[in-house]
Structure 1
Amino acid sequence: MWKNIRIAILLLILLVVIINNWRDQNQNWDRPIVVLLHPINADGLSSTQNYIQHLQSPSFLEVKTYLEQQSGNYRQPIHVILKLGRTLTDQPPKVPNAASILNVMWWSLKFRFYAWRQRISADQPTSVTLYLNYYDPQHVNELKHSTALEKGRIGTVNLFASNKQNSQNNIVLTHELLHAFGATDKYNLQTGQPLFPIGYAKPEQQPLYPQKQAELMAGRLPVSDQQNRMPESLKQTIINALTAQEVGWSK
């Protein structure tokens, strides 16, 4: 009898996992998309803490407006709600430098456990939870790679604690947010150069360079076949047809 009960419990857990994974990979865009943002003082500096204390939801309004406008290009109206959540003290596990399959799997499990531990009932249901790791640019010149998981709908995003960087921070945040909905990177992982044609905003442009906009999931604006630069804001980026298809805005 107890054996049958244990088997039934395991089957129930498996069913819940399957249903959750299916939901994660089949977003219903007709429902409001609620994104919970948890700021984290990742470098422990008082300057970073001061920046976080002055963060407000309107700081991320650009992300909401951008996504709603871009989805409209594919006749998929969406409603995005960005909620600024509690400031957390515990940091997410660091993304492994050696990206072996085992390392990535172990990190993924640790990250999901971290997200589970941070959640409280007051957070209410969300579509995606992003952990925003802030660093003072006076002390950190280059940020490590951010990442997000489609299965689990969580992401760890490294950002600069500077008002001057807010616009570019929003590019990184939106890039990772779309990863959580299934969008793939469209740049060369070794060089960072956008992939042609899928990583170009206008691959049909003649002459091809310089491109005036960047594809969001490429993250960089190509100025030649070997050079690129960071867009200044989301206004200098677009979401192309392939990315729209990956996240479910089009067929």
Structure 2
Amino acid sequence: MGYLEHVGKYFMMLGRVFKKPQKGKVFYEALIKEIDELGLKSLGIIMFISFFIGGVIALQTALNLDNPFIPKSLIGFAAKRSIILEFAPTFCSIILAGKVGSYITSSIGTMRVTEQIDALEVMGINALSHLVLPKVIATVFFYPFLISLGMFLGILGGWVTGVLSGLFSGANYIEGIQTDFDPFLLSYAIIKTLIFAFLISTVPSYHGYYVKGGSIAVGKASTQAVVWTTILIVIANYFLTQMLLT
């Protein structure tokens, strides 16, 4: 199957996903379940990685600024820009693509190979809307909070690094964070996060829904889903940066 055919099937899938759900109560219960599986259970890894990567960014910046004429506040400024512009929205989304994407593909793919999806369709249920739409809404609405938390903890990790290492003071770091603050950068990060969240929920769903074979095929589909989701996030990041920051 060619790439254009895959793209066509992907958009056809989206057309069925966004049809009205079968029952409000069933949809609400599925949505709460997906928020827990895709969002709340990802809090730990995002918090842990954000805090320590923020510390590493600040530490590496401080170690490379050995010129006494360069103000120490530049460390906070550089860390702020790095975390808000790229680390939190892009790097964390790639991590989530691996964790969440493999879960989505394997869960839907297992239902496909065990004919549970066929049973839903025989009963007249729109299986795509029933299975995928709660995942899309859960990720699109919850991930901006998750990424915002990653931004805060990343910047906090940089501050803690300075205080503990003695390479720069907390006051200088905070001064750098406040220097030349542009609120649009936050908007830029959230816009990227929304698009990445949509990719994280729909691309793995596509691979899981159209999988053929047995358990081995589901495993291969999960790997392909993570790879393609990551590739699309990187490509989307490039074009979004060009459109929004130039």
TM-score by length of 1: 0.23
Q: Identify the structure with bigger relative contact order (alpha carbons < 8 Å, sequence gap 6+).
A: 2
Q: Give the structure with the larger strand fraction.
A: 1
TM-score by length of 2: 0.24
